[in-house]
Amino acid sequence: MRIFKDAGHLFRLAALFAAGTLLFFVIRGFVVPRSFGEYGHYRGAAIAEIAAHPIRFAGQGTCETCHADVAQAKSGGKHAQVHCEACHGPLAKHADDPSIDPGKPDTAALCVRCHAASAARPKDFPQVDAEQHAGGVACQTCHQPHSPAIGAASGGTK
């Protein structure tokens, strides 16, 4: 009764297959990141990595925690809905360390960026031809940027 007299070949083949399979799973364990497939066909940990990037714009809420006076002056005027950093630029570093001086924006370039007259802008948006309107006089001579209507209270000096 020697039907499987050469069964050794099969056993060796099976062992080789088992070893190969094991090797596949070992390598797979090394190369597939642990969080892959946590939420879908991607590395779940990537979400937390992207969320951990540092911020540059501190956000309106942060500005108002210290500069309540400016926020107050701004609240009644035409610029009430304009966030601080829309004109002053990204200031998260200044928010972290108030000793870093953010400097003052250059109104000569700043105001006309939004208010220079152009047929392309919405008709109801206030626009001026700066040269004709002021003839080279700086905007803040008449308009306080934080509350630009003429005669409005100053928006603080900070």
Given the complex with other proteins, which of 9 and 53 has the nearer CB atom?
Answer: 53
CB closer to other proteins out of 7 and 149: 149
Q: Taking the complex as a whole, how short is the minimal distance between the CB of residue 135 and other proteins, in angstroms?
A: 18
Which of left, alpha, beta for 103 (phi over 0: left; psi -120 to 50: alpha)? left
Quote the least distance from Cβ 3 to other proteins, whole Å. Answer: 32
Tokens 């004709």 — which residue?
Answer: 132
The string of DSSP letters for 78-106 reads TTTTS-HHHHH---HHHHH-TTS------
Q: Which is nearer to other proteins, 1 or 52 (CB)?
A: 52
State the minimum distance, in angstroms, from the CB of residue 131 to other proteins: 11
Which lies closer to other proteins via its Cβ, residue 10 or residue 45?
45
Least Å from the CB of residue 6 to other proteins:
26
Whether 114 and 107 have beta carbons less than 8 Å apart is answered as: no
What is the chain's Cα-based Rg? Answer: 33
Which is nearer to other proteins, 2 or 118 (by Cβ)? 118
Distance from C-alpha of 32 to C-alpha of 48, rounded to nearest angstrom: 18
Rounded least distance, CB 153 to other proteins, Å: 21
> Which residues make up the interface to other proteins (CB under 8 A)?
22, 25-26, 29-30, 33-36, 39-57, 59-60, 79, 81-83, 85-87, 89-90, 113-114, 116-122, 125
116 φ/ψ angles, rounded to the nearest 5 degrees? -65, 130
CA distance 145 to 147: 5
